[in-house]
Structure 1
């Protein structure tokens, strides 16, 4: 039998490394050619990688969350034949498996204190989600010894320290049924109580002293218990990408936030009328298509809101096209699919496109083009929208708009009190590019269009 070393192939678009997001095989599995092996994630998309050969898996070089350089050995197989072989991963190299493995380790040396288990054990967590826990993925803290009751009590109350000193945290403490019942009623774990009786037995007096020394007070016999467990959760896949993106945005962009109140009554009446003729199997209009249509109408007058700022070049690239990012919550985390050329879409076409790209993002079928290139983002939590928010700009854009929850409120109009449908609209802008005056003026113009929706559809003068 020979060995075949399969390298991480060139994924394209200048990608130098990728993150392992999910393994579909384990060491010892027998696989067929073209069988799915692993999902890897780049800055652009998640890519499925299949086996180039049939054979038995003898080594997986990486766990979920690990970053591998393109060309490093990903999987080693035992295959038919006597000769060893190594896949060149599109690199034009034909070194032996041992040399290829050595190259991979040279290219990405392990951290000094990194546990070997983390580098070797294949992970079983789902793509784009939190790994199950340190027990499965061996986070750095997994190599630390478990904390004892004495350790946990070092910084606790005098009663906690005194109880830990008894050294009974690892076994069932000795106590009478009456003492146990009293401890149960007070919600006290007896392992933290120092026993002064024979063989460390906890007497009722010991329990009373523990309570007097700062232990939790009675909860009326509610049976409530303290929760003390801690899980180390690795941040991998989509969640890692979100964390990096949010950190980049908040670290590099000075956010200017602006909130304004919109009277949605007229727009809601129009929306209800337009939806009334739709069948049960037909999509209906939400607020977003109207909002996008109004923004598209205004952007030619505010070119510095629609584009990308390049910090390295100190240049802003203003786009004529309005590619609307639609912040969408998925099982893997926040995603931003894109409605391209929103300026050319009517409200019905816009609604259909929002639905299409959002569903593709939730199902994990969106293409790279559908998940990149937005020039201004709309974010909405629908009924969870709250009173206001401070939305985080989708770097490298310079603005983001977020409608909040709509409520009915009494409003004074021409000296009369009327019940109106009111919604706050929150927005954030990059203060390096957008002055507060221009941002406020843009939101006020948007308010005028939304509160009088006929203007959204009026022909340009």
Structure 2
């Protein structure tokens, strides 16, 4: 028998490391050639790592959430024949020097006593100096006191250690000492009762469960992206209401007459065409800002990112060259990209390269939002829900369909006046939708 070492592959594009997001095997599992062993994530895509050999897993070199350098040992497989690995001791030594988190914990010296076996310290009553008067039992008229919700229970370190070893939540124990302090006797009585609360509330029970969830994969990428955007971009948010009554009538008419191969129109394709027109008048908003180099890049192409919720988290597929697409073409591309993002088949280039982003929560879009800019872009347009409201026309109140646009801008690049002009132009186009279709 021999050993075969699988190393972190070079996924290209100058990527020097990747995050391990999923193991499909564990030590002792049999594997066959081409079987997927693990999945790693770079800044742009998730990559599956297949097995090039048949064998049995011996060792895993990282845990989910670890960042592993390219060419670092990822796992070892026992194979028939000589394999490609050196002696087991040398391989383990090399792996420990390269992989950030080893699969097995370091050995514990025999002189170290584990906490659960350490002898409990003597009770304060036993170690008290002879000059201290013996403890008296609390009078029958004094009732034990339990800490209020959110209040830390009072107890000595020895009592806390005993409670930890017994698996007792001291917030459930009534203390009979001064100021409700929990004594050893209080803890003994609580344990003797079967660890039930001393004074339960009828019909209610405290839930003290906690769950720790490691932030990995796409959720970590989202967190890093949001931290970068908020920490480096001074946002200015501008909110304006738009009367979309005529636009909704037009949309309903176009959907009623659409061809079988045409997708159903939402409000987004109309907004995207309005964006193209408004950006043509204000090219400084269709830009990206490299704040490290101090360079603003204005883009002729309008690549519109669409923030999309997927089972794995938020992704931003990109409709490229919206300036060269008509309404129905935009709607078809939106549908295709949204489906690809949700089922995880979107290509790497379909999830990057946007020059401006639209975010929409659909029918639950709220009245106002404060969108976070998709760094390094300088603007994002947020769509809120459409609501029917009474509007005064000079003689009477009439029902109109109103939608708010909540748009954020990088105030280092876009002045407040320019942001307002941009949004007002979009408003005018959406409120008179025929203007969207006029070329030039």
TM-score by length of 1: 0.77
CA distance in 1, matches of 2:233, 2:273: 27
Provide closer, same or farther for how the CA distance between residues 173 and 290 of structure 1 changes in structure 2, counting only shifts above 3 A: same
For the residues of structure 2 that align with 1:293 and 1:46, how far apart are their CA atoms?
Answer: 32
| Matched residue, 1:249 | 229
Aligned to 1:379, the other structure's residue is in SS state strand
Change (3 A) 1:64 1:109: closer
Residue 261 of structure 1, aligned match among 233, 241, 246: 241
Name the stretch that deviates more: 291-300 or 274-283: 274-283
Identify the residue that residue 38 of structure 2 maps to in structure 1.
38
For 1:116, the equivalent position in structure 2 comes to 105
CA distance in 2: counterparts of 1:248 and 1:61, whole angstroms: 30
Deviation at 1:48, TM superposition (A): 1.0
Shift of 1:302: 1.3
What is the SS of the residue equivalent to 2:255?
Answer: helix
Structure 2 portions without partners, runs of 5+: 107-163
Judging changes above 3 Å, is the alpha-carbon distance between structure 1 residues 97 and 301 closer, same or farther for their aligned structure 2 residues?
farther
Q: Which residue of 2 aligns with 1:173?
A: 193
Q: Does 1:70 align with 2:59?
A: no
Structure 1 285/172 Cα, relative in aligned 2: closer, same or farther at 3 Å? Answer: farther
| SS across alignment from 2:296 | strand
Shift of 1:23: 1.3
Q: Where has structure 1 moved over 6 Å in runs of 4 or more? A: 153-160
Q: How does 1:400-419 map onto structure 2 within 5 Å?
A: 400-419=380-399
Other-structure match for 2:209: 229
Cα distance, 1:240 vs structure 2: 0.6
Out of 305, 323, 348, which is 1:343 matched to?
Answer: 323
Taking a change above 3 Å as real, the CA distance of residues 165 and 426 of structure 1, as seen in their structure-2 partners, is: farther
Superposed, 1:159-238 pairs within 5 Å as 162=182, 166-168=186-188, 171=191, 173=193, 191-193=196-198, 207=199, 223-238=203-218
| 1:358 and 2:363 aligned | no
Contact 1:84-1:96 at 8 Å conserved across structures = no
Unaligned runs of 5+ in 1: 87-94, 118-144, 175-189, 194-206, 208-215
Q: In 2, Cα distance between the equivalents of 1:37 and 1:7?
A: 12
1:440 maps onto 2:406 in alignment? no
Tell me the equivalent position of 2:84: 85
| Structure 1 pair 410–7 and aligned structure 2 pair: CA distance change class (3 A) | same
1:227 Cα deviation from its structure 2 partner: 1.2
Partner SS, residue 218 of structure 2: helix
Give 1:277's match in structure 2, choosing from 237, 240, 257: 257
- The CA deviation at 1:59 is 0.9
Q: Check 1:281–1:228 CA distance in 2 against 1; reply closer, same or farther (3 A cut).
A: farther
**Higher radius of gyration, 1 or 2:** 2
TM-score by length of structure 2 reads: 0.80
- Do the aligned partners of 2:245 and 2:402 also contact (CA within 8 Å) in 1? yes
SS in 2 for 1:327: strand
Cα distance in structure 2, aligned partners of 1:161 and 1:192 = 16
Cα distance, 1:150–1:80 mapped onto 2, change above 3 Å:
closer
Which 10-residue stretch deviates more, 297-306 or 150-159? 150-159
1-side partners of 2:67 and 2:262: how far apart? 44
Q: Which residue of 1 aligns with 2:29?
A: 29
Give the whole-Å Cα distance in 2 for the aligned partners of 1:286 and 1:397: 25
Cα distance, 1:458 vs. partner?
1.0
Residues 58, 78 of structure 1: 8 Å contact kept: yes
Q: 2:391, 2:399 within 8 Å by CA — same for their partners in 1?
A: yes
Map 1:287-306 → 2, pairs under 5 A:
287-306=267-286
Do the aligned partners of residues 45 and 101 (structure 1) sit closer, same or farther apart at CA in structure 2, a change above 3 Å counting? farther
Distance 1:104 1:161, change over 3 A: same
What secondary structure is seen at the aligned counterpart in 1 of 2:392? strand
